[in-house]
Structure 1
Amino acid sequence: MSTADESSGNVGTDPTVDNLNAPFNAGDQAYIIVSAAMVLLMVPGIAFLYSGLARRKSALSLIWVTVMSFSVVVFQWYFWGYSLALSSTATNGFIGNLDKFGLRNTLGAPSPGSPLIPELLYSFYQMQFCAVTAALVIGATAERGRVVPAMVFTFFWATLVYCPLAYWAWGANGWALQYGVLDYAGGGPVEIGSGVSALAYSWVLGRRNEKMMLNFRPHNISLITLGTILLWFGWLGFNGGSAFGANLRATMACWNSCLTAMFAAMTWCLLDYRLAKKWSLVGWCSGTISGLVAATPASGVITPWASILLGVVSGVACNFGTKVKFMIGIDDALDVFAEHGIGGIVGLIFNALFAADYIIGLDGVNMGVTGGFLNHNYRQLYIQIAYIVAACAYTFVMSAIIAKAIDLVPGLHLRASSEAELLGMDDDQHGEFAYDYVEVRRDYLAWTPAERDPKEDGAVVVPQHGIAGHQDLAESARLRAPGTGSSAENNNHILTSRTSTGSRKGRRGSGSGSGSGPVTPPPEKEKEGEVVAVGRLGVVTEGEKVEVTQ
């Protein structure tokens, strides 16, 4: 074997001699690369969504843990994650081996997931799936979890929970794949994996302080909406790209994803309207996400009309699923289980009922695969249920064990102190803020340093931001005011003083010259038409009304 063969990790291939791209369609490769980039956008989408759903004092922390979890997963996936999740040489049905450790033996051979793309591209695309799932799980830390232990949890969770789940569903010898489970884009590894893991982590972490949750509402609905739009865009790469080529199955998956999301969003909004008689934007976002979750395992196997039904059912199931956390007493702060766990289960059940062989075969590779009830394959329901039960049980137990084990390590306790929870995770864990009101207060004091109420002098105060040039007009009004002192000089407002013949108005900005300093006493007597002030904006005389417009 040549040196090039050894460095590439592929026996019998030399990229300095052989064109390793030749067996693959360039369009398929380009499509999957773009799809991977689209899926990557889901990570900041999740960050914005979680940040908007939380309270202001923990908004930045949720962005940090989400994007940092991506960094952890990139290393884990390169180190041994890909090999453990999708190694084609493993002989057991539970988890892969280390044959692909450090991306060894991963270059130009056809991928284990599809012959349409090379394995190097396949490994990169699948890395985004693990990253998105980890980002979803980490929302369980909301408002009371320490960030460093959460990152340690992410590494071991990706190794011991996500990798086995992915191998079951997509590994060449995974037991679920061999058993005939239909899971198109990750109802088990991604949706059940994230939803049930978040539930387990929340259980170990404990409930938030109830007294601090009075009248709790999402603090920024605009961020929630932005995150949802980014997620929808990325989900088209998530579900469309799972066809592993630019083909009709990818297009069908995108169609089905949009149909399911749309009908789930409308259903959720209607369910919320029946209670509040208001049309909730948060409800639209929640419904959209629940529909996209349900479409993840189903969009590439069911028909479009079934996707409409899936949207309605997932909207109802996930909406009512938000009540589960109250029934079981687990504080799933961001409803990760309600939307992802329950949504993924609904999608997997729909595969048994509405999967069609002619939809599955649209990629030109999986012709002949049998669908569900539509193809008279009634056994598929039992297969799907067994897969759901196994995935839920393994995920919850293993996630709870990992979280509890980390919590017992000195210095890695998962939960922040009660004082830190009261202060907020932004201040306690980061010393930074999504909204730095300390700086806002400093800015406010810089341009409104009034020390006493100008109304005591009979003035009408209209607070204004400073504009250079208004200082002179404000100075003229100060000179006209009785009992002028340093406090009047420091007042950055429009002052209107009434005289026997008219009124004067002036506005003082935050330009140079404001502040304390020598005060010129006002004239003892003012005469009609007497010039009292000359400034950059003109001459102010007795009896003249000065209007300043911005």
Structure 2
Amino acid sequence: MPHGIDPAATAWLLASTALVLLMTPGLAIFYGGMVRTTGVLNMIMMSFISIPLVTVAWLLLGYTLAFSNDAGDGIIGNLAHFGMAGIDPSTTHGTVPEILFATFQLTFAIITAALVSGAIADRAKFAAWMVFVPVWAILVYSVVAHWVWGPGGWLHDLGVLDYAGGLVVEIVSGASALALALVLGPRIGFKSEAMRPHNLPFVLLGVGLLWFGWFGFNAGSALAANGTASAIFLNTLVAGCLGMLGWLVVEQARDGHATTFGAASGVVAGLVAITPSCGTVNTLGALVVGLAAGMICSFAVGWKFKFGYDDSLDVVGVHFVGGIIGVLLIGLLAAKVMTAGPQGLFFGGGLAQLGKQALAVIVVAGYAFIVSYVLGKLVDRLIGFRVSAEDETSGIDFAQHAETAYSEGVHGHLPRRPGQLGHHPILGEHARAEERS
């Protein structure tokens, strides 16, 4: 074994990497359950296609831009590891192989891209999404990752705390999602039609997979199998639990019902908020973070109706708002026992850390929104980002993939236009049999 590699830390990071990768299929099931029957496959595919697209972008440019030594002014890394040059099983990052650290960070980039897709459900061209994702991963994700986590990154050197991705994952995905929602515009029927989740068991199954993977997401970021990872593991559990309870309390008081959809959303809100703070707050702090996120995000998901942006699956209301809550609460609740240094206002640390966290929120959100909006507009101008009104109305699954999730379609028949299925090797025969009958 190469000198300096800790076998226990390496084993834990291998497991954590697998857990985080599982989160993207979990997200696909979660998102797939939240859309209507005519958009299930497209929604799932937008998550799954993010895996190879981001992987290629990350190996070529993303990792070196994010985690190589700073190229100047704390803005971006250098090209020392272009195409993963100079990284082999013997090179290390701390006490783990650098090739494993790069893979672990890759799984973060993948799910961040997949999260964005929830805001444009039911109306985005699949080809346009495939063009958007790898460019976005380099121009937005890798840049912010360097600012916050990279050696010499300016927010890192400023002392901003983001343990596992409140800024890099949650706020970046939420701000980017808002930008794309504005580029594409609202769905047909937004505000006038009920667009309920078609499969709540899917939603809960997806949340279960996400919660399971989130332990690798947060505790794996310790890069060690030690007491810190154990504390983070518990914080992740506590915040998810309190997020669920907080959301359900609001639902019961406001609507008279505690719903399964609310329970799932509350778990995600709590997990989102604890992501940046999992390594900086104690267990009591995790309770506060999860409860605050569950309650506030339960109101935030309704803002889209007030302000008119169609964030289809509430990426803004949960991930953007939840990420802000988690990042800002570090400035209040950071405990020295976890940070080994910086403390929040409530622990005698003054307002300095809160100011740094607030600055980071503004800068990261602004950068991600602007670049994503410009990139979305550029893709829209070049190839068109939104499907036609006819395809959106008849069903994006069939229009984009020539498939449907359910053989009976929506109203007891396949949603197709004449002749569309004729040459499909499987569905064509189904259509011809249907026509004969």
What corresponds to 1:388 in structure 2? Answer: 361
Q: 1:423 to 1:389 in 2, by over 3 A?
A: same
* Cα displacement (A) at 1:71: 1.1
**Aligned partners of 1:417 and 1:89: how far apart in 2?**
44
* Cα displacement (A) at 1:117: 1.6
1:247-258 equivalences in 2 (<5 Å) = 247-258=226-237
Residue of structure 1 aligned with 2:343, choices 353, 357, 371: 371
**Aligned partners of 2:316 and 2:350: how far apart in 1?**
30
What corresponds to 1:276 in structure 2? Answer: 255
Amino acid at match of 2:354: L
**Aligned partners of 2:135 and 2:6: how far apart in 1?**
36
What corresponds to 2:379 in structure 1? Answer: 406
Q: Tell me the C-alpha RMSD between the 2 structures.
A: 1.6
1:56-455 equivalences in 2 (<5 Å) = 56-107=37-88, 108-111=90-93, 115-210=94-189, 214-361=193-340, 369-373=341-345, 374-409=347-382, 412-437=383-408
**Aligned partners of 1:188 and 1:279: how far apart in 2?**
30
Residue by residue over 1:187-243, the C-alpha shift from the partner in whole angstroms, topping out at 9 and shown as x without a partner, is 111000111111100100111112796232110001000000000000000000010
Q: 1:375 to 1:434 in 2, by over 3 A?
A: same
**Aligned partners of 2:92 and 2:330: how far apart in 1?**
27
Amino acid at match of 2:358: I
Amino acid at match of 1:25: D
Residue by residue over 1:356-375, the C-alpha shift from the partner in whole angstroms, topping out at 9 and shown as x without a partner, is 121124xxxxxxx3222214
**Aligned partners of 1:46 and 1:244: how far apart in 2?**
24
Q: 1:43 to 1:360 in 2, by over 3 A?
A: same
**Aligned partners of 1:148 and 1:159: how far apart in 2?**
18
Question: Secondary structure of the residue that 2:49 maps to in structure 1?
Answer: helix
**Aligned partners of 2:287 and 2:370: how far apart in 1?**
34
Question: Secondary structure of the residue that 2:310 maps to in structure 1?
Answer: coil
Question: Secondary structure of the residue that 1:210 maps to in structure 2?
Answer: coil
**Aligned partners of 1:439 and 1:325: how far apart in 2?**
27
**Aligned partners of 2:51 and 2:361: how far apart in 1?**
26
Give the total of aligned pairs: 411
**Aligned partners of 2:327 and 2:409: how far apart in 1?**
49
**Aligned partners of 1:425 and 1:306: how far apart in 2?**
43
Asked if structure 2 preserves the Cα contact closer than 8 Å seen for 1:52 and 1:219, the reply is yes
Q: 1:264 to 1:438 in 2, by over 3 A?
A: closer
Amino acid at match of 1:338: G
Asked if structure 2 preserves the Cα contact closer than 8 Å seen for 1:141 and 1:150, the reply is no
Asked if structure 2 preserves the Cα contact closer than 8 Å seen for 1:303 and 1:356, the reply is yes
Amino acid at match of 1:381: L
What corresponds to 2:435 in structure 1? Answer: none
Q: 1:34 to 1:209 in 2, by over 3 A?
A: same
**Aligned partners of 1:257 and 1:377: how far apart in 2?**
26
Residue by residue over 1:287-327, the C-alpha shift from the partner in whole angstroms, topping out at 9 and shown as x without a partner, is 00000000100011101101111111111211111122123
Amino acid at match of 1:372: G
Asked if structure 2 preserves the Cα contact closer than 8 Å seen for 1:89 and 1:99, the reply is no
Q: Which has the higher helix share?
A: 2
Amino acid at match of 2:360: Y
| Uncovered stretches (5+) of structure 1, i.e. residues with no partner | 1-18, 362-368, 443-550
Per the normalisation by structure 1, the TM-score is 0.73
Q: 1:152 to 1:370 in 2, by over 3 A?
A: same
Residue by residue over 1:89-131, the C-alpha shift from the partner in whole angstroms, topping out at 9 and shown as x without a partner, is 53331111211111112233332xxx22221111010000000
Q: 1:125 to 1:320 in 2, by over 3 A?
A: same
* Cα displacement (A) at 1:389: 0.4
RCO greater where, 1 or 2, for CA within 8 Å and sep 6 or more? Answer: 2
Residue by residue over 1:123-148, the C-alpha shift from the partner in whole angstroms, topping out at 9 and shown as x without a partner, is 01000000010110122220111111
**Aligned partners of 1:87 and 1:265: how far apart in 2?**
39
**Aligned partners of 1:197 and 1:220: how far apart in 2?**
26
Question: Secondary structure of the residue that 1:437 maps to in structure 2?
Answer: coil
**Aligned partners of 2:97 and 2:199: how far apart in 1?**
42
What corresponds to 1:26 in structure 2? Answer: 7
Amino acid at match of 2:332: L
Asked if structure 2 preserves the Cα contact closer than 8 Å seen for 1:356 and 1:375, the reply is no
Amino acid at match of 1:101: F
**Aligned partners of 1:49 and 1:125: how far apart in 2?**
22
Asked if structure 2 preserves the Cα contact closer than 8 Å seen for 1:66 and 1:139, the reply is no
* Cα displacement (A) at 1:328: 2.4
Q: 1:350 to 1:440 in 2, by over 3 A?
A: closer
**Aligned partners of 1:102 and 1:216: how far apart in 2?**
43
